């Protein structure tokens, strides 16, 4: 459609738009976001959006793919690493997730509320069919706790990492937690969650 001329300027403007889109989409969700919001947030005219990206939905898809990658991406290699124990995997996933979420507290809201509307191809991340069930991580859990469906523990692990960030706005509004206390707790959870998972698995 148009050739890129000055990579720097181009990148700058394009990146400004993407940055603004990230921000607004993540905060308000797809439907509630107006292209004008994004333009304003980026300090640019509306037409730029449609100049750089063909449409609102194209722009969204790009952000969405990026966020999905952030949210699920790093987990896959960890999960299929044959050289680490369950416990090491749990520790890795926990600390990585807690750090990611502390930097992007809106991420869970966004990913989880948009995921349902997202067409099936968002599953591109997961090349094979039910690769998850066959993953080393799940197999390792199955060995540790043979009587139970291993997904119980995967759900618990992810839930204990992610759910606090979902509940946080509620708890803050209710005056139950302040921002500082919350941050402190999230740091604590980096070591607490692996310990909790461990005792769950041993208890059997």
Partner DNA sequence: ATCTGTTTTAATCAAATGATTAAATTATTT
Partner DNA sequence: AAATAATTTAATCATTTGATTAAAACAGAT
Q: Output the six-digit token pair for 47.
A: 């037409």
User: Which lies closer to a second copy via its Cβ, residue 8 or residue 203?
Assistant: 203
- The region of 7-15, 36-44, 52-60, 180-188 touching a second copy under the rule CB under 8 A is 180-188
In whole angstroms, what is the distance from residue 188 CA to residue 171 CA?
18
For residues 21 and 38, give the distance between their C-alpha atoms in angstroms, rounded to a whole number: 5
Is residue 56 near DNA by the rule CB under 7 A? yes
Binding string, residues 138-177; x marks residues near a second copy by CB under 8 A: ----------xx-xx--xx-xxx-xxx-xx-xxx-xxxxx
Q: Can you tell me the distance from the alpha carbon of 144 to that of 71, in angstroms, rounded to the nearest whole number?
A: 27
Window 154-183: contact mask with DNA (x via CB under 7 A)? ------------------------------
Contact call for residue 55 and DNA (CB under 7 A): yes
Q: Applying CB under 8 A, does 129 fall inside the site for a second copy? A: yes
Return the half-sphere exposure (C-beta side, CA atoms, 13 A cut-off) of residue 47: 0
């Amino acid at each position: 459609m148009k050739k890129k001329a000055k990579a720097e300027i181009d990148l700058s403007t394009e990146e400004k738009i993407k940055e603004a889109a990230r921000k607004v989409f993540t905060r308000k969700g797809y439907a509630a976001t107006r292209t004008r919001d994004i333009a304003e947030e980026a300090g640019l005219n509306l037409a730029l959006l449609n100049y750089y990206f063909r449409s609102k939905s194209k722009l969204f898809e790009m952000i969405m793919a990026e966020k999905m990658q952030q949210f699920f991406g790093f987990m896959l290699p960890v999960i299929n690493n044959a050289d680490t124990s369950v416990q090491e995997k749990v520790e890795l996933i926990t600390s990585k997730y807690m750090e990611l979420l502390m930097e992007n507290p809106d991420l869970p809201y966004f990913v989880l509320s948009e995921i349902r509307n997202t067409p099936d191809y968002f599953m591109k991340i997961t090349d094979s069919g039910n690769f998850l069930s066959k993953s080393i991580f799940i197999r390792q859990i199955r060995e540790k706790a043979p009587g139970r469906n291993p997904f119980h523990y995967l759900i618990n692990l992810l839930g204990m990492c992610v759910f606090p960030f979902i509940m946080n706005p509620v708890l803050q509004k209710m005056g139950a937690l302040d921002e500082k206390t919350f941050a402190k707790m999230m740091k604590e959870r980096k070591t607490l969650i692996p310990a909790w998972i461990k005792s769950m698995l041993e208890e059997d």
